[in-house]
Amino acid sequence: MGNPIPTFPIRPPGSKAVACQNCSLNAFCLPKGLNRDELEQLEDSIQKNVKLGKKDYLFRRADPQNHIYAVKSGAIKTSLSTPEGEEQILGFFLPGDLLGFDAFANDAHTCDARALDDTLLCKLNVDDFNTLMGQLPNLRGQMMRKFGCEIEREQTLSLILGQMNTQARLATFLVSMSRRNQVRGFAPREFALPMPRHDLANYLGMAVETLSRLFSRFQEEGIISVALRQISINDMKRLNALAHHTCH
């Protein structure tokens, strides 16, 4: 029979609103570390099961900040654009991830956020959020942690883009996707990428063709198997080694 480890659900599993306390993602989300009472206060300000269709914008650059968002299912990409329209994708947000922090500098978003697929979100009004930050030290603590994570994420992207050759970039990305699945209790070696090649190539700062060749090469070398967006990692050790082989 084997062990049917669930793979990552890309589509919304159901649409019934679930209390944070029963949400399978609460260990990664804002509620982490809150007691029942605090959770209740937080929950009053959260709007659940907000739907977004594939390619819909969650917010755009210069939009006023109204909410902080948590992904429940589906996936969101954020990106920054130059005046000329050149885009850099900054991150892919999966279930349990928070986004919207970019707007705290000027009460307006500095990047665009767009759904890669049909997506379900929870959203928290920023005014309520500010009030709660004053009242709930635990929430404040968790929020600061999330902020720190976001900064760490961005820093890692800079490290990838600034120091690694293309092969190390892809290897690093695959390892990180694997880990993200693992901590959520999903299969760490088999997963579907939520984004098209074009977006991934952009995120990793390379041409689509280069990315495609890398996938092919990794497959030839038996490190992974690729079928379009479906990935299985066959040799995690070597993948890790490639990920650490940084320099140009």
Binding residues for a second copy, rule: CB under 8 A, are: 80, 82-84, 86-88, 90, 101-106, 110-111, 130, 133-134, 137, 140-141, 144-145, 147-152, 154-159, 161-163, 202-205, 244-247
Counting residues that bind DNA (by CB under 7 A) gives 22
Nearer to a second copy, 149 or 187 (CB): 149
The option from DNA, a second copy, none interacting with 185 (CB < 5 to 8 A, set by class) reads none
Q: CB of residue 212 vs DNA: minimum separation in angstroms?
A: 3
CA 125 to CA 203: how far, in whole Å?
29
Give the sign of the dihedral formed by CA 34, CA 40, CA 44, CA 47. positive
CA 193 to CA 174: how far, in whole Å?
9
The option from DNA, a second copy, none interacting with 106 (CB < 5 to 8 A, set by class) reads a second copy
Number of Cβ atoms within 10 Å of the Cβ of 66 = 15
The option from DNA, a second copy, none interacting with 24 (CB < 5 to 8 A, set by class) reads none
- Range 208-227, binding DNA (CB under 7 A): 208-213, 215-216, 226
Roughly what angle, to the nearest 10 degrees, separates helices 137-163 and 166-183? 160
CA 34 to chain centre: 23
Reported in sequence order, the residue ranges of the chain that DSSP labels E, i.e. its strands, are 46-52, 57-59, 67-73, 76-81, 87-93, 98-99, 112-115, 119-125, 190-192, 224-227, 230-233
3-class SS of residue 151: helix
- Range 169-208, binding DNA (CB under 7 A): 196-198, 205-208
Q: CB of residue 166 vs a second copy: minimum separation in angstroms?
A: 12
Nearer to DNA, 140 or 198 (CB): 198
Nearer to DNA, 237 or 248 (CB): 248
Nearer to DNA, 70 or 206 (CB): 206
Query: What is the spatial order of strands in the sheet that 87-93 belongs to?
Result: 57-59, 112-115, 76-81, 87-93
Q: CB of residue 36 vs DNA: minimum separation in angstroms?
A: 43
The option from a second copy, DNA, none interacting with 55 (CB < 5 to 8 A, set by class) reads none
Nearer to DNA, 106 or 212 (CB): 212
Q: CB of residue 58 vs a second copy: minimum separation in angstroms?
A: 16
Cα-Cα-Cα-Cα dihedral of 202, 190, 153, 114, to 10°? 50
**Burial state string for 158-193 with b = 16 or more CB within 10 A and e = fewer than 16:** eebeeebebbbbbbbbbbebbebbeebebbbbbbeb
The contact set with DNA (CB under 7 A) reads: 165-167, 196-198, 205-213, 215-216, 226, 228-229, 247-248
